[in-house]
Every structure is written in structure tokens, then in C-alpha cells.
Amino acid sequence: MSRPRIFSDWFRIRKDLSPGRKSLLTVFSFCLPAALWCIVSYVPFIWHPDVKITVAASREGSSTVLTAGDHLPKDYFPKYVNDVREENASEREGSKRKNQKLLRQISPLVIEAGWLDERDAQNDKEIYLFWRDIATGKRELPALNDENMEIVRKNWEILASSSPVFEYKSLPEEPLLKLVPQGKPANPSYLPAPDEVIETGWSLFTRPPRNDGATMGERYRSSLGIIFRGFLWACLIGVPIGILCGTYSFFSTLLEPFTDFFRYMPAPTFSTLLVAVLAAGDSPKIALVLIGTLPHMILMISKTTRLLDPALLEAAQTLGAKPRQMIGSVVLPGIAPNLYNDLRILLGWAWTWLVIAELIGVKSGLTEVIETQGRFRNFDQVFPVIILIGITGFVTDQILAWFHGVLFPWAGTSGRISRAVASFVTWPIRTVASAANERIMQDELAREARRKLRPSTESP
């Protein structure tokens, strides 16, 4: 036997790959997009059409206020730098107020270096001391380029001559030099790098929320609550109706045409109506998930029910089953595995309705974060939430898919593990049932034996 070669047999028409290769490719199917994202984010010459400002400077006569962290188009950045340089070289008027603002230019860098807390961004006393430390070489700030280091030293000469510590009164009137803008190549703000997303995502879930809003955990629970309550209601109404429609022509003709029509009216168009009827709170949101899911559910389940092999119903009839018995003992068990899969697909759709539902009335849940942070272009906060929804849906579906094998071992699709779980779960029931059966059977045999004995003893 020759060993299988690594490079052969990857592409064979309608032939399965080996399990090892399959799992490898499954891992790849997640790794490839992630790798693509990393390459675009971390390899500088791939895309990076923007410059992310690390040192910002205000310009005289310009109304655009740029701060550290802002993005500028790559080809505009040099003009921004030149403007500030020209301003530094020109004759200009100074003031204490302007100089105070100028000193704060350094604070984002100092915060970035971890020397200053974010809340002290305008603590001029601290900032003043940092200017001193950097100028005298006591602290090193590599983020500053040589040009700006020069400016820091020049400014400090002026500042030191008036006061060693910050005092607004003793700030010089003469204009200080502005730090020249610095920046690094960056992708547009709508494509944050993976590490940013992970970091922000982590802090989103671990840090308490900024202003008395809900924590991410609470938001997550509220979203899950809405989707599951909406879906549960849809199931309670939709499953029986769907089965009735698939079983009786009467119900199908009575209910399906309107359902089909209703399906084409997009659920979000009812949002204002739902809020008017059910008021604010969770109810209109649950109702939106419900009316978004229900028509599809009815039609899908009625179709699934109709797909049940009619020969099974005929067989049941020839075995003496009455019409009512046929629903309970043939239709329901017969469609159960397909019904279960339908519900799995519909639960996926319900997530779509959830996102819309959370925007109506009072915004809430995970979608509120997406909405509000997206408006501020804080996409590093948006992506973790989107990914969280994706992971939740995917994991739920995988678990439910696996349970299919546990619930319906007779479908012949269960793996070894789910079969084992199924037999483990049903073991107590089976044991009790078989023991009871045994007991009843013995009793019955004994009774029969007695019945047989009696006539022979009575009649001599």
C-alpha cells in the first residue's frame, strides 16, 4: 500500500474528502477570513488610505477641529502638517489661553504612554510637568518625532523662564510653538484592526458602562429574552396552525392565502403600529419578532406536513387507525424531525427580526450599542457586538443540530455520541417502563392461569 500523498485527491467531483482533511478545511473556513482581516489591517502597504492622527494641532482660521485618533485622507495629511509648520514660522499673536490649549496637545500621547489617567486629560498642572520631564530628558516619549522634540525643548525654555510649575497667571503671553501633527497609516475607521476589536470587545463586557446604561451582559440577556419569547409565541401559534394546514385542506384553503399575502408586508412596517398598540417596553419588540416569523413558520410547517409520505397514512388506515389517531400517531411523529429543522432555520431568521425589533420604540439590547456607537463611527465597539450575535446564532444552531440526533435516533443520522446521550437520557424511563411492563405481564399471566384452573376445579 502506498501512502496517500498530501497534494493529490483534494479535488474529486462529488467525492467526500477524508475526515482529517474535512476538519482541516473547516478550521480554514474560519481562519481564512480572519487571516484576510489581519493582512489588510497589519500589512501597511496593502490598503491604509488614511492617516490616524497621534498628535493633533489646531490651525488658525480653520473651523475643522481635529483631535488625536481622528482619521485624515493620506494625501491631505501633508498639507495639514505644512499648515501648522507655516503657522509656527509666521508672525502671530499669542495669549495665555492659546498657550494653555497648546500645552494640552501632549496629553493624548502621555495618556497613551500610560503616565496619565484619561480623566486627567485637562489637568494642566500634571501636563506642565510632563513638558518639563520630556524637555529635560527625564522622561522619554518615543512617540514624538525629532521635529516635535525640538519644539518641546524650545517651548520649555520659554515656559521654564516664567514658572517651574503651572500657574495660569504666569503663563507667557508670547506664542509658543505648536506641535507639528503626527500620524500613522491607518485603514478607514469602519475597518478597525482585530486587536482593537478584541480589546474593545473585552473591555465592553468587563468594564461597567459609562453613564448608568445597561451592562453588556444585561443587554445580551434582554436581547436573548426578546428573541426567545417572540419565537416561543410564534411556535405556540404557528406550529399547530401549520400542522392543521398541512393536514386538512379546509385549514390550508382558509388560512394559507392570507398568510401568503401577509408574508409580503414587511414586518418592520408594523413597528409604529405595534408601539402604538402595545406601548413602549419589550412587548412591541416581542410582537415584531412574532409577526416577522409567524407567516413563514405557518407556510413552512404546512409544507413539511404535506411532504409526509401519504403511504404511511394509508398504511395506518389499513391498520385500523381512526382519523384523529392518525394525527397523533402518524403525522406528528412522522414530521417531527423535519419540523425541528424548520424551527432551527426559523430561529435564525428571528435574529434578523430581533435587530429591527430592538430599534423600535425605546432602543434596547445589543442593537442599541450597534446603532449609537455606529453613529459615532466607533466601529471597534460595533464589531464585537455583531460578532457576538453571529457566535450566539451559530453556536445555538450547532447545538440544536446536534440534538437532532439525540431526539430522533430513528432518522439514522445520529452520530455515536448523540446516540449514547440519547440512550443515557432515556435510560431511567426505559428501565422503569420495562420493569412495570414485566410486572403487569406477570399479573396478567397469573390471572389467566387462575381463570383456566377454575372451571376444571368447579366441574367434577
Judged by beta carbon, residue 163 or residue 317, the one nearer other proteins is 317
Stretch that binds other proteins, among 161-169, 173-181, 212-220, 405-413 (CB under 8 A): 405-413
Stretch that binds other proteins, among 96-104, 202-210, 212-220, 309-317 (CB under 8 A): 309-317
67 neighbors 56 (Cβ within 8 angstroms) = yes
Positions in 333-372 near other proteins (CB under 8 A) = 333-334, 336
CB of 417 to other proteins, least distance (A): 18
**Pattern 49-68, other proteins, x by CB under 8 A:** --------------------
423 in contact with other proteins (CB under 8 A): no
CB of 437 to other proteins, least distance (A): 6
Angstrom distance (rounded) from CA 455 to CA 460: 9
User: Which candidate, 287, 285, 266, places its Cα nearest to that of 368?
Assistant: 285
Judged by beta carbon, residue 417 or residue 440, the one nearer other proteins is 440
CB of 383 to other proteins, least distance (A): 44
- Burial grade of 237 (CB within 10 A; 0-12, 13-18, 19 or more): middle
Q: What share of the chain is helix, strand, coil (3-state, %, to 5)?
A: 70, 5, 30
Judged by beta carbon, residue 316 or residue 360, the one nearer other proteins is 316
Residue 379 cell numbers, joined = 466601529
Distance of CA 154 to the CA centre of its chain: 50
325 in contact with other proteins (CB under 8 A): yes
Residue type, 260: D
Q: Compute the CA torsion angle 347, 401, 237, 254 (nearest 10 deg).
A: 100
Stretch that binds other proteins, among 125-133, 136-144, 321-329, 373-381 (CB under 8 A): 321-329
Stretch that binds other proteins, among 213-221, 254-262, 285-293, 315-323 (CB under 8 A): 315-323
317 in contact with other proteins (CB under 8 A): yes
List of long-range contacts for 404-409, beta carbons under 8 Å, 24+ apart: 404/337, 404/340, 404/341, 407/336, 407/337, 407/340, 408/336, 408/337, 408/340
440 in contact with other proteins (CB under 8 A): yes
Map residue 117 onto helix, strand or coil.
coil
**What residues line the site for other proteins (CB under 8 A)?**
309, 311-312, 314-322, 325, 329-330, 333-334, 336, 408-412, 437, 440-441, 444
